[in-house]
Amino acid sequence: DPWKLMLLDATFRAGQQTCHLIHYLRLSHHLIVLNYLICTFDKLKSVSSEDINITDAVFDGVEVRVFEPLAKRDERLKRSVVYIHGGGWALASARTSLYNNLCRIMAESLNAVVVSVEYRLVPEVCFPEQFHDALRATKHFLQPDVLAEYSVDPNRIAISGDSAGGNLAAAVCQQLSKDEHLTIRPKLQALIYPVLQAFDFNTPSYQQNMNMPVLPRYVMINYWIDYFNGNYDLAHSLLINNHTALDVGQALSFRGRLNWTSLLPSSFKKNYKPVIQTTGKAEIIQEIPALLDVRAVPLLAENETLQLQPKTYILTCENDVLRDDGVMYAKRLENAGVEVTLDHFDDCFHGCMIFTIWPTDFSAGIQTRNSYIKWLDENL
């Protein structure tokens, strides 16, 4: 697995460098090229199934892929999972084999209807459009007549996602919990190494894993900048937390909601020290106000919203800059009275759960996927 991880990371970095060169030459946006390369390579490894009916549909203007187990005689209504794929809000697709395979296995293992949301990507659209796509598709599916069409039990629905998809799943779940007009709400949320905050890029996991494959710190910061349609010139200021310095008034009220010195256990804090600038650049927040928008950064939500969240599963990996995002969210939800399962893996890395198909088949992928599906099976 270490050799496979090194090869995967080297391939990804080489692809990124090629795409940035194409971007520099103004031939195309680097994320468009990178996604094209990913999807082209992915087509070589399609995975199908005779036991699952896979169809494409449109839910309130948003494309989705629906995975339905074949109906059995005298069967009751099925449970269901709305799944939102990762990829930095810019890469991958519900139709790629990596996510097609994951959702197919989920549908088979759980005998559940899985709705995989094909939200629009950066650079075609930026925040908040990805959030709106995920929210619209989910709300459409939660309508009683739509659930009846797919023979889904309205009391057994989960919303889930990995990485940037975990970000969208958490944000959508928060929004649904505040919608007084909804008659049907998710029973569970399940977040896989979610990205939940852009407030502090020097949490212990960001410091520990700053150069870790396949998501180094600078790459995650660039994903945030792309998501917000910001300027790459701000990357260094974000890296040293200039945007949330003590003299940045807009950030002051959020500081207590993301204090990792109190939210993380000592085993994660280790000997790392907080990076808090005394003077910073308030103009960063003025230029990119979404840095403090809870629809983009669910970890900054107020306690009143967190209290409304359903039973929650959060999977984190030790070798991941986003580890502490998930751990802090689990702690805040727990403090708000929500039942939370934090499923931490010491020997796993960011993105591992989708890498289960040769040649990128990792034991970490099988291990995390099995644990995730087991929790859903026992709780949904």
DSSP letters along 168-225, please?
A: HHHHHHHHHHT-TT-S---SEEEEES----SS-TTSHHHHHTTT-TT--HHHHHHHHH
Does residue 275 lie within any of the structural domains? no
Please tell me the predicted confidence (pLDDT) of residue 16.
56
Rank 36-50, 321-335, 361-375 by mean pLDDT and report only the highest: 321-335
Amino acid letter at 366? I
CA separation, residue 281 to residues 157, 232, 237 (Å): 43, 15, 8
Q: Are 186 and 159 in contact (CB under 8 A)?
A: yes
Residue of 200, 226, 320, 343 marked catalytic: 320
To the query of whether residue 320 is one of the catalytic residues in this protein, the response is: yes
Calpha distance 380→377 (Å, rounded):
6
**Residue 176, domain member (yes or no):** yes
Residue among 80, 97, 163, 177 flagged as catalytic: 163
Does residue 49 sit within a domain? yes
Residue 244 is assigned to a structural domain of this protein:
no
Rounded CA separation 114/193 (Å): 20
**Looking at residues 350-371, what average pLDDT do you find?**
81
Active site residue 163: yes
Q: Is residue 12 part of a domain?
A: no
Coarse DSSP helix, strand, coil percentages of the chain, rounded to the nearest 5 percent: 45, 20, 35
Residues 6+ apart with CB under 8 A from 243: 234, 237, 251, 280, 281, 284, 285, 288, 291
- Give the model's pLDDT for residue 46: 45
Residue 229: inside a domain, yes or no? no
Question: Mind listing the pLDDT tens digit for each residue in 325-347?
Answer: 999 999 999 999 999 999 999 98
For helices 30-42 and 2-24, angle between their N-to-C axes, nearest 10 degrees: 140
Q: Is residue 17 part of a domain?
A: no
Q: What value does the mean pLDDT take over residues 162-169?
A: 98
- The total number of structural domains that make up the chain: 1
Identify the bridge partners of residue 317 per DSSP, sorted by sequence position: 345
> Which tens digit of pLDDT belongs to each residue from 199-233?
999 999 999 999 987 799 999 999 999 999 999 99
**Which residue segment(s) compose the domain that 76 sits in?**
42-197+291-378
Q: Is residue 369 part of a domain?
A: yes
For CA atoms 88, 224, 367, 186, the dihedral sign is negative
Q: Is 350 a catalytic residue?
A: yes
Determine phi and psi for 303, rounding to 5 degrees.
-60, -35
Supply the CATH number for residue 64's domain.
Answer: 3.40.50.1820
